[in-house]
């Protein structure tokens, strides 16, 4: 049963992550009085890219060729390390510090791929990415560390388990830490107000600039990995900060099904909230972004002080 749940969890993130991206785009279009594309359009885009010919620059090294597989594989490793449907699927990589390390590893490879070819777009995209990452990691680690202090452990599964039964839900430290994590979520997944995922304008793009030289199957892996990361952060927010009805270790199949249904409801609410936020704000100037991330770090510190 545990092996089956772990396999299901490993397949769930890459299977439904394009739908999360497509649903976000569709909701944004509706909120902006546009018809928009189908929520299934990302699947069609991935299928098309996987069957297209690939063009590689003569200046591309092995780093450029290997990076998509490293980035996509890292998102799968993270997907297998977080509490999703049941607390039975714990592994040896479920510590929050390991999680942050894997996220940093993924960021390192995508930034390295952006500068490998030597194009100016990739260079400034990677420099912007690393600048934001240097500010985001602090807010991300400290927001999770606040939960670790509240529950006395850095294990994500133990946090989800203890947090759901300790009565810490909707307390002030949790609310403050969740706001900080939400800002880090937008920064890590390159959403508004940090990046515009729907444009290739030089003044606005960060993630798209780093993968601009990719085409064909490698571009599909990069886009798929970005979608995986988006759903992973939604899952972390849903099951770490709001671990409602997550199935306990050794729970029955019916409890796992209820946990899956509750997770999908929480994920839909998170997707709608992100789409509504992106439809109501504009992208900030690049030099204003550190101020917002510094605010998230301060909120995390406040949450830690309140949790002590």
Q: CA-to-CA distance for 184 and 296, rounded, in angstroms?
A: 7
Across residues 261-281, what is the average pLDDT?
92
Prediction pTM value: 0.94
pLDDT at residue 297, rounded to an integer: 95
- Could you tell me the CA-to-CA distances from 126 to 112, 228, 234 in Å, in that order? 7, 20, 24
Is residue 112 within 8 A of residue 122, CB to CB? The reply is no
Residue 255 CA to residue 232 CA, distance in Å, equals: 22
Cα–Cα dist 184/299, whole Å: 11
Neighbouring CB atoms inside 10 A of 106's CB total 24
93 pLDDT band, cuts 50/70/90, is confident
163-167, 196-200, 230-234, 256-260 — which one is most confidently predicted on average?
A: 230-234
Dist CA 16 CA 225 (whole Å): 12
Share of the chain above pLDDT 90, in %: 54
Angle between helical axes of 156-165 and 96-116 (0-180°, round to 10): 130
For residue 247, the 8-state DSSP code is: B
pLDDT tens per residue across span 272-302: 999 999 988 888 888 889 999 999 999 999 9
- How many other C-beta atoms are found inside a 10 Å radius of the C-beta of residue 8? 16
Q: What is the pLDDT of residues 49-67, one digit of tens each?
A: 999 999 988 889 999 999 9
The 3-class SS string of 273-286 reads HHHHHHHHCCCCCH
Q: Name beta bridge partners: 155.
A: 95
| Calpha distance 194→143 (Å, rounded) | 19
- CB-based contacts of 288, cutoff 8 Å, min separation 6: none
Each residue's pLDDT tens digit, 134-152: 999 999 999 999 988 888 8
Q: Coil, helix or strand for 146?
A: helix
Q: Where do the domains of the chain lie?
A: 2-307
Q: What is the spatial distance between Cα 35 and Cα 299, in angstroms, rounded to a whole number?
A: 38
**DSSP labels for 133-164?**
HHHHHHHHHHHHHHHHHHHT--BHHHHHHHHH
The per-residue pLDDT of the chain, averaged, comes to 88
């Amino acid at each position: 049963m545990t092996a089956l749940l772990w396999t299901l969890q490993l397949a769930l993130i890459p299977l439904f992550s394009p739908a999360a991206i497509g649903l976000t785009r569709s909701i944004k279009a509706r909120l902006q009085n546009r018809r928009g594309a189908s929520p299934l359009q990302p699947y069609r885009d991935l299928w098309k890219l996987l069957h297209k010919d690939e063009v590689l620059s003569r200046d591309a090294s092995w780093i450029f060729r290997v990076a998509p597989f490293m980035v996509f594989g890292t998102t799968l490793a993270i997907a297998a390390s977080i509490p999703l449907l049941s607390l039975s699927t714990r592994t040896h990589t479920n510590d929050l510090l390991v999680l942050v390390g894997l996220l940093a590893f993924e960021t390192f490879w995508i930034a390295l791929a952006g500068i490998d070819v030597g194009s100016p777009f990739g260079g400034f995209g990677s420099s912007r990415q690393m600048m934001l990452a240097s500010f985001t990691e602090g807010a991300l680690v400290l927001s999770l560390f606040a939960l670790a202090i509240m529950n006395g452990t850095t294990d994500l599964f133990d946090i989800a388990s203890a947090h759901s039964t300790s009565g810490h839900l909707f307390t002030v430290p949790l609310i403050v830490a969740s706001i900080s994590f939400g800002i880090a979520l937008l920064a890590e997944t390159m959403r508004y107000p940090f990046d515009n995922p729907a444009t290739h304008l030089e003044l606005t793009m960060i993630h798209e600039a780093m993968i601009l030289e990719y085409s064909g199957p490698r571009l599909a892996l990069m886009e798929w990995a970005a979608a995986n990361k988006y759903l992973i952060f939604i899952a972390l927010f849903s099951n770490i900060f709001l671990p409602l009805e997550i199935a306990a270790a050794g729970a029955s199949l019916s409890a796992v099904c209820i946990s899956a249904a509750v997770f999908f409801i929480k994920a839909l609410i998170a997707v709608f909230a992100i789409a509504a936020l992106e439809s109501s704000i504009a992208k900030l100037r690049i030099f204003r972004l550190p101020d917002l991330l510094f605010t998230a770090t301060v909120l995390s510190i406040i949450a830690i002080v309140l949790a002590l």
